[in-house]
Amino acid sequence: MSTRLLLGDEALAQGAIDAGLSGAFGYPGTPSTEITEYVQRSPEARSGAVRSHWTANEKTAVETALGMCYAGKRAMASMKHVGLNVAADPFINAAISGTNGGLLINVADDPSMHSSQNEQDSRLYTEIALVPCIEPANQQEAYDVPAYAFDFSERHRIPVLVRLTTRLAHSRAPVTLGSKRPQNELSAPTDRERFILLPSNARRSYDRLIRQQRDFLRESEASPFNRLVEGTDTSLGVIACGIAYNYVLEVTGGAPRFPVLKVGQYPLPLAAVERLLAQCSEILVLEEGYPYVESKLLGSPPRPSPVIRGRLSGDVPRTGELSPQSVASALGFPELQGLPASGAPVSRPPALCPGCPHADTCRVLNDALATRRETGRVFSDIGCYTLGALPPYGAIDTCIEMGASITMAKGASDAGLRPAIALIGDSTFAHSGMTGLLDCVNENSDVTIVIVDNSTVAMTGGQTSSAERRLVAICEGIGVQPAHLRVIEPLPGRHAENVAILEEEISHAGPSVIIARRECIQTLKRGSRRPADKGGGK
């Protein structure tokens, strides 16, 4: 047995490889990117024994993984929490069809929104899909989960959602590796109706899924990731989900005096919960993300006793990730005084790198729009160029989710707001901008779409963009008129020329696309983009 220093993301990836993984698919997104990257760098992927590539988006990742598991193999798709919104359709319907080989959907939530636009909690998606969820508490468990979860998935023919949160995804600890299991043989399912979700089949499958809920609960009661640790002081009982368990152990020196139910697998192990509730007069729920378990225990109307405390009661902050100090204070431990805070540091927001091509494009946008700012708006998207919102640029007006730039610009233009400009990156365009462009072409919408093509997925560290070198052909194929499909090079020396081109296309009363193409300064400095990767990021 060997020990390696691994991020939670990497431990999960290594655990999957050792559990007989055949394919890993995903779209880059913080804090999940390192799961798929780790698989891609592994000897197993390099030799071709494991398939791993960046897909165009999270939906295609889950569908590809579903297809691979249909063929009897073990497969997984990895994404950040908001990526599951994009992949919700295949995720929820794969629970109805069920799986053949094992299927894991790995989702990294980002409480505190370190690099995200919301802090949605993926555990709630498992309620819609009616699938089990496993939430490792530490890096060793992250390694141990895939072997267990693939077996579970194959035993019950159900996808399993593995939930990580930022701190586990991006923290390193020594991990002891176990034995390696061979990959599954190719074996297509013989019960073909199961995968044809015509209503008559789907109703049957849905009934089966409902009946399975009891089996999932039984599995949770016996899961190695759920554990009731008895304590001597029953004035308080703690339910600690995922990494919250580490904080409880940390602030109690590894030996809490009150009983603690460690939760790492859902549905909630109800028998253990009942045991805890029966012996304690107060319950504190510690969980990353939404007050998911807390709401369940509270009930509606709230049960009179025991008293349930957590995020809803205000004992733990309602938003943001947990920390050792927030857990210590919820447990009633006194604050440890550090040095007084200094008033000197001012905020230092992230910024576009010196020499970044997006900076030049932002200046072009600002100058072209200078006299049109009253009504003109720039609908932007997810990527480094979102930083164009900050000083000194102030170049963009919106950033909602992947692909929303083009379609929001179209809707605003339909409403009469002009000029309506969309600003979107090359990989975000490939992820979910192309369909919106088709809408614009079909309706001859008066929008000007600027695709900032830095030929990489920059924000997540430089993965290869899935539409690389094909943007012009894609736009032509979708039906953009060649006269209004322009390519510019965003360089300071070409500023005036670029402003003139943008102004021309703004005055064209139909869809125009301007591709602002110059390589990311970071990948340029490194001398090469990562050749093994495929795909786009956020």
Partner 1 sequence: MKRDIILAGVGGQGLLSIAAVLGDAALGLGLHLRQCEVHGMAQRGGVVQSHIRYSDVPLYSDLVREGTADLILSLEPMESLRYLPFLRPDGALVTNSVPVKNIPDYPDLDCILGEIRRLPRHRIVDAAVVAEQAGSPQCANLVVLGAATPFLGLAEDSLEAGIRSVFAGKDPRIVETNLRGFHLGVEAARRAS
Residue 515's nearest CA partner among 431, 404, 423 is: 423
Which residues within the stretch 508-527 sit at the binding site for partner 1 (CB under 8 A)?
none
Q: How far apart are CA 406 and CA 229, in angstroms?
A: 53
* Residue 398 binds partner 1, judged by CB under 8 A: no
Angle between helices 471-478 and 434-442 (to 10 degrees): 40
- Options 24, 330, 369, 384; binder of partner 1; rule CB under 8 A: 384
| Spatial distance between the Cα atoms of 388 and 289, rounded to a whole number of angstroms | 29
Name which position in 167, 262, 410, 518 contacts partner 1 (CB under 8 A): 167
With contacts defined by CB under 8 A, name the span among 196-204, 228-236, 329-337, 414-422 that binds partner 1. 329-337
CB of 440: closest distance to partner 1 in angstroms?
28
41 binding partner 1? (CB under 8 A): no
Other CB atoms within 10 Å distance of the CB of residue 200: 9
Closest distance of CB 3 from partner 1, Å: 8
Least Å distance, CB 299 to partner 1, is 31
User: Which of 115/295 has CB closer to partner 1?
Assistant: 115
Give 199: exposed, middle or buried? Use CB within 10 Å, 0-12, 13-18, 19+: exposed
Q: Which residues contact 150 (CB under 8 A, 6 or more apart)?
A: 16, 19, 20, 21, 74, 102, 104, 160
Query: Burial level of 79, CB count in 10 A (0-12/13-18/19+)?
Result: buried
Which is closer to partner 1, CB of 280 or CB of 352? 352
Question: Nearer Cβ to partner 1, position 125 or 247?
Answer: 247
Containing H/E element for 206?
helix 199-221
Q: Can you tell me the distance from the alpha carbon of 412 to that of 419, in angstroms, rounded to the nearest whole number? A: 9
Strand-pairing partners, residue 263, are 241
- If one asks whether residue 335 binds partner 1 (CB under 8 A), the answer comes out as yes
In whole angstroms, how close is the CB of 87 to partner 1 at the nearest point? Answer: 20
Of the pair 329, 481, the CB lying nearest partner 1 is at 329
The minimum distance between CB 333 and partner 1, in angstroms, equals: 10
Give residue for tokens 């290869």. Answer: 464
Say how far apart CA 257 and CA 169 lie, in whole Å: 29
| Span 138-157, contacts to partner 1 by CB under 8 A | 138
Rounded-to-integer distance, Cα 179 and Cα 482, Å: 57
CA–CA separation, 27 vs 53, rounded Å? 9
Query: Which listed residue (339, 482, 493, 531) binds partner 1 by CB under 8 A?
Result: 339
Q: Which is nearer to partner 1, 63 or 288 (CB)?
A: 288
Binding to partner 1 (CB under 8 A) within 3-22 occurs at 5
Contact status: 82 vs partner 1 (CB under 8 A): no
Cα–Cα distance measured from residue 294 to residue 123, given in angstroms and rounded to the nearest whole number: 13
For the record, the structure tokens of 19 come out as 């559990």
Residues 201-240: x where in contact with partner 1 by CB under 8 A, - otherwise, as a string: ----------------------------------------
Contact pattern from residue 437 through residue 476 relative to partner 1, giving x for each residue in contact according to CB under 8 A and a dash for the rest: ----------------------xxx---------------
Q: Is 348 in the site for partner 1 (CB under 8 A)?
A: yes
Nearest to 156 by CA among 227, 207, 213: 213
**One of 71, 88, 130, 353 touching partner 1 (CB under 8 A):** 353
Which of 28/291 has CB closer to partner 1?
28
> Is position 250 an interface residue for partner 1 (rule: CB under 8 A)?
yes
Provide the residue type at 19 as one letter: A
Tokens of 220: 């949770």
d(CA 180, CA 192): 31
- The residues in 95-124 that bind partner 1, with binding defined as CB under 8 A, are 114-115
Beta strand 265-266 pairing with 133-134: antiparallel
- Candidates 179, 342, 371, 528; binder of partner 1 (CB under 8 A) is 342
Q: Please report, as a single letter, which amino acid is at residue 389.
A: A
Interface pick for partner 1 out of 49, 89, 127, 174 (rule CB under 8 A): 174
Query: Interface with partner 1 by CB under 8 A: which range of 349-357, 365-373, 415-423, 425-433?
Result: 349-357
Task: Report in angstroms how near the CB of residue 95 gets to partner 1 at its nearest.
Answer: 30
Angle separating helix axes 404-415 and 434-442, nearest 10 degrees: 20
For partner 1 (CB under 8 A), the number of binding residues is 50
Spatial CA neighbour of 24 closest among 11, 37, 7, 8: 37
Q: Does 243 sit near partner 1 (CB under 8 A)?
A: yes
Under the binding rule (CB under 8 A), the answer on residue 33 touching partner 1 is yes
336 binds partner 1 (CB under 8 A): yes
With CB under 8 A as the contact rule, the residue among 48, 301, 391, 531 that binds partner 1 is 391
Q: Are 452 and 514 in contact (CB under 8 A)?
A: no
- Considering the complex, state which of residue 341 and residue 483 has its C-beta at the smaller distance from partner 1: 341
Q: Quick one: tokens of 154?
A: 């194959």
**CB of 37 or CB of 154, closer to partner 1:** 37
Residues that bind partner 1 (CB under 8 A): 5, 30-31, 33-34, 114-115, 138, 167-168, 170-174, 243, 246-247, 249-251, 254, 323-325, 328, 335-342, 344-353, 384, 387, 391, 459-461
